Amino acid sequence: MTDIEPDDTVDARGAACPGPLMDLIGKIRSAESGDVIRLLSDNDQSLTDVPEWAEEAGNELLAVEELDDHNEFYVEKA
């Protein structure tokens, strides 16, 4: 378990691709620089989508936790 404390959480479980990534982008859009957003997604595509976008946008993917029924992504806004 990570001990990162997110500033906000997006629960995109149940959303089809590209919903989780778009939900994350929407939250990052309104976040402050340095804020950490936690994305909950049960769509496997997020495992590639989210790191690719985070790198492209210059945001840092701090951690990915792979749980039984979903994954949690911690992204810090640059």
Partner 1 sequence: MTEHVVIVGGGTGGTVLANDLADRLEPELDAGDVRVTLVNDDPDHVYKPVWLYVPFGQREPDDGRRPLDDLVDDAIDLRIDRVSDIDTEAQRLQFRGSAPPVSYDYLVLATGSTLEPDQIPGLTEDGHNYYSESGATDLRDELLEFTEGDLVLSVIGTPHMCPAAPLEFVFMADDWLRERGLREDVDITYTYPIQRVHGNPHIAEWARPIMEERDIQVETFFNAESVDPEAETITSMEGTELDYDLLVTIPPHGGIDLIEEAGLGDDGWVDVDKHTLEAEAADNVYALGDTADTGVPNAGSVAHYQAGVVGQRLASEIRGRPATATYDGKTLCFIETGMDAASFVEFDYENPPSPAPPSEKLHWSKLAYNESYWLTARGLL
Closest CA to 41 of 62, 61, 69, 60: 69
The catalytic position among 4, 14, 17, 57 is 17
Kindly tell me which of 2 and 52 has the beta carbon lying closer to partner 1.
52
Q: How far is the CB of 7 from partner 1 (least distance, A)?
A: 17
Kindly tell me which of 34 and 58 has the beta carbon lying closer to partner 1.
58
How far apart are alpha carbons 14 and 55 in whole angstroms?
Answer: 25
Q: How far is the CB of 62 from partner 1 (least distance, A)?
A: 18
Displacement of CA 18 from its chain's centroid (Å): 12
Please check whether residue 40 is in contact with residue 60, taking contact to mean a CB–CB distance below 8 angstroms.
Answer: no
Please check whether residue 75 is in contact with residue 6, taking contact to mean a CB–CB distance below 8 angstroms.
Answer: no
Which residues contact partner 1 (rule: CB under 8 A)?
14-19, 21-22, 25, 28-29, 49, 52-53, 56-58
Specify whether 6 is catalytic: no
Active-site residues, by number, are 17
